[in-house]
Chain A
Amino acid sequence: MNDQVSRSGDPVEAADGAEASTFVVGVGASAGGLEALRDMLGSAGSDCALAFVVVQHLDPHHESLLAELLGRHTSLSVRQAVDGERVERGAVHIIPPGRGLSIRDGRLNLTDFAQPRGLRRPIDDFFESLAIDQGRNAACVILSGTGADGSAGLRAIKEHGGLAVIQEPETAKYDGMPTSAQATGLVDFVLPPQEIIESVRQFFEKSAPGSGGQALARTVEETLDDICAVVRTTAGHDFSGYKKSTLGRRVQRRIQVLDLPDAKAYLRHIRSRPDECEILFRELLIHVTRFFRDPEHFRTLRRDVVRPLVHDANSEEIRVWVPGCSSGEEAYSLAMLFAEEVRQQKRSIDIQVFATDIDERMLRVARNGVYPHSALADIPEGMRDVYTVARDNASFQVSARIRDMIRFSVHSLVRDPPFSNIDLLSCRNVLIYFDDKLQSTVLPIFHYSVRPGGMLFLGPSESLGRSDHLFHPLDQQARIFERNDSRPEYPLQLGGPLDDRRARRRPPERVDGPATRVGWSNNEATGRILEAYGPATLLVTAQGEIIGSTGKLGRYLEITPGEHGAHYAAAIARPGVREAISSVVHKAGRSTRRAISRDLVATSEFGRQVFDLIAEPLSDRTILLVFRERNRFDPMDEDDFEDVESSDSHMQSLEEELRATRARLHTAVEELETANEELKSSNEEMMSMNEELQSTNEELATVNDELKDKVEDLSVANSDLSNFFATTTLPLVVLDMEGRVRNFTKAIQAIYPLRSGDRGRPLAEMTSRIAQDDAVLAAIDAVRRTGERREERVEDPDAERIWNLIATPYRTRDDRIEGVTLVFSELTDALRLEGELKAEGDRLRLALDVARMGVWEVGADGRRILFDRTVAGLLELDDQELPFEEFLVRVPDASRAEAETALRHQEETTLPFALTFDFVVAGGSRRFVQMVGRRTRGPRGPRTLGILYDVTEAEEARRVREIMLHEMNHRVKNQFSIISGIVRIAGMSAATVPDLVSGVTARIGALARSHNLTHQLPSDRSLTLKDAVQSAVDPYQGHAAIRIEGPRVEVASEALTTLSLLFHELATNTAKYGVLGPKDGTLSIVWTATETDEIQLDWLERYDTPNVAPPDEPSGFGSTLMQMSAAQIDGRIEVERTTNMRRTRLIYGQDV
Chain B
Amino acid sequence: MDKMSSGAEPANRGIVLLCEDEPIVALDMKLIIEDAGYGVAGPFSRVSAALEQVGTPLVAAILDVRLRDGEVFPVAEELARRGVPLIFHSAHIIEDDIASRYPGSRYCPKPIDDKMIGAALRECALPNA
Contact = CB atoms under 8 A, between A and B. Distances in A.
A978 B28 CA distance: 9
Nearest to B66: A970
A1125 B23 contact: yes
Nearest to A1127: B45
Interface residues of B, number: 24
B31 A985 contact: yes
Nearest to A1126: B23
A982 interface: yes
A517 B123 CA distance: 180
Contacts of A348: none
Contact of A1128 (B21, B92, B111, B112): B21
A1130 B67 CA distance: 13
B24 A981 contact: yes
Contact of A974 (B22, B23, B30): B22
B45 A1128 contact: yes
Contacts of A979: 111
Contacts of B21: 1054, 1128
A1125 B66 CA distance: 17
A1124 interface: yes
Nearest to A971: B91
Contacts of B39: none
A1124 B26 contact: yes
A1128 B64 CA distance: 14
A816 to B, nearest CB: 101
Interface string B1-37: 0000000000000000000011111111111100000
Contact of B23 (A972, A980, A984, A1124): A1124
Contacts of B45: 1127-1129
Given A973-B111, A985-B31, A1124-B43, A978 B68 contact: no
Tell me if A's interface is mostly helix, strand, loop or mixed: helix
Contacts of B29: 981
Interface in A734-761: none
Given A981-B25, A984-B28, 7 more contacts: A969-B91, A978-B25, A980-B112, A1058-B23, A1128-B23, A1128-B45, A1129-B45
Contact of B111 (A976, A988, A1125): A976
A477 interface: no
A368 interface: no
Contact of B27 (A969, A971, A1124): A1124
Interface string A18-53: 000000000000000000000000000000000000
B31 A973 contact: no
Contact of A977 (B68, B91, B114): B91
A1061 B24 contact: yes
Contacts of A977: 22, 25, 28, 91, 110-112
A1062 B22 CA distance: 12
B108 to A, nearest CB: 11
Nearest to A981: B28
A1124 B24 CA distance: 8
Closest 6 CB pairs of A and B: A973-B91, A981-B28, A1125-B23, A981-B24, A977-B110, A976-B111
Contacts, number: 80
Interface in A151-184: none
A777 interface: no
A1152 B46 CA distance: 11
B22 to A, nearest CB: 6
| Residue of B68, B111, B112 with most chain A CB atoms under a 10 A cut-off | B111
A649 interface: no
B109 interface: yes
Given A973-B109, A1054-B68, A981 B27 contact: yes
A970 B111 contact: no
B24 A985 contact: yes
B22 A978 contact: yes
B92 A981 contact: no
Contacts of B30: 1124
Contacts of B114: 984
Contacts of B111: 973, 976-977, 979-980
20 contacts: A970-B92, A973-B109, A973-B110, A974-B22, A977-B22, A977-B28, A978-B22, A978-B24, A981-B22, A981-B24, A981-B25, A981-B112, A982-B24, A984-B31, A988-B31, A1057-B22, A1124-B27, A1124-B43, A1127-B45, A1128-B22
Interface in A812-836: none
A979 B91 CA distance: 14
A991 B81 CA distance: 45
A1121 interface: yes
Nearest to B24: A981
Contacts of B46: 1130
Interface of B: 21-32, 43, 45-46, 66, 68, 91-92, 109-112, 114
A1061 B45 CA distance: 16
B48 to A, nearest CB: 10
A1120 interface: yes
A1121 B24 contact: yes
A1129 B21 CA distance: 9
A977 B28 CA distance: 9
A352 B28 CA distance: 167
A1056 to B, nearest CB: 12
| Residue of B22, B23, B26, B30 with most chain A CB atoms under a 10 A cut-off | B23
Interface in A1120-1139: 1120-1121, 1124-1125, 1127-1130
A248 to B, nearest CB: 131
Contact of B91 (A974, A981, A1054): A974
Contacts of B109: 973
Contacts of A982: 24
Contact of A985 (B22, B28, B43, B110): B28
Contacts of A1130: 46
A984 B91 CA distance: 19
Contacts of A1127: 45
A920 B72 CA distance: 37
A1129 B23 CA distance: 9
Nearest to A974: B91
Nearest to B89: A977
A41 B24 CA distance: 127
Nearest to A1125: B23
A977 B30 CA distance: 13
B23 A1061 contact: yes
Given A969-B91, A981-B28, A1128-B45, A1121 B110 contact: no
Contacts of A1125: 23
Contacts of A1124: 23, 26-27, 30, 43
Interface string A974-1009: 101111111011001000000000000001000000
Contacts of A973: 91-92, 109-111
Nearest to A1057: B22
Contacts of B24: 978, 981-982, 985, 1003, 1061, 1121
Nearest to B23: A1125
A978 B111 CA distance: 8
Nearest to B91: A973
A1124 B22 CA distance: 9
A984 B28 CA distance: 7
| Residue of A970, A981, A1117, A1152 with most chain B CB atoms under a 10 A cut-off | A981
A116 B122 CA distance: 139
Nearest to B110: A977
Contacts of A1003: 24
B110 A1120 contact: no
A926 B32 CA distance: 52
A969 B90 CA distance: 11
A1057 B28 CA distance: 16
Nearest to B45: A1128
Nearest to A1065: B23
Contacts of A978: 22, 24-25
Interface in A993-1045: 1003
Interface in A938-980: 969-974, 976-980
A265 to B, nearest CB: 136
Nearest to A976: B111
